[in-house]
Amino acid sequence: MMANWGNCRICSENPFTVLFGWKQPEKKCAATERKCKPSKRNEKDFKPRSEEEVKEAVAKWSEYVHARARDFFAGTQQLEEVLAQLAKGTDKDCDPVAGSETQCVYWYGDVTKDECQAAIRMVKPGEMQESVTYVNRVLAFMFATDESFEKLMALPKEPFRMNCGDQLCVHLAHISLATC
What's the pTM value of the predicted model, to 2 decimals?
A: 0.77
Q: Give the whole-angstrom CA distance, residue 160 versus residue 145.
A: 16
- In this structure, how many other beta carbons lie within 10 angstroms of the beta carbon of residue 38? 11
- Convert the pLDDT of each residue in 22-79 to its tens digit: 554 443 333 334 456 778 888 899 999 999 999 999 999 999 999 999 999 877 888 9
CB 49 within 8 A of CB 88: yes
Domain ranges of the chain: 5-35+48-94+109-159
178 CB-contact burial (10 Å; exposed 0-12 / middle 13-18 / buried 19+): exposed
What are 123's strand-pairing partners?
Answer: 130
- Geometric angle at alpha carbon 21, from 167 and 13, rounded to 5°: 155
- Convert the pLDDT of each residue in 137-169 to its tens digit: 999 999 999 999 999 999 988 899 999 999 999
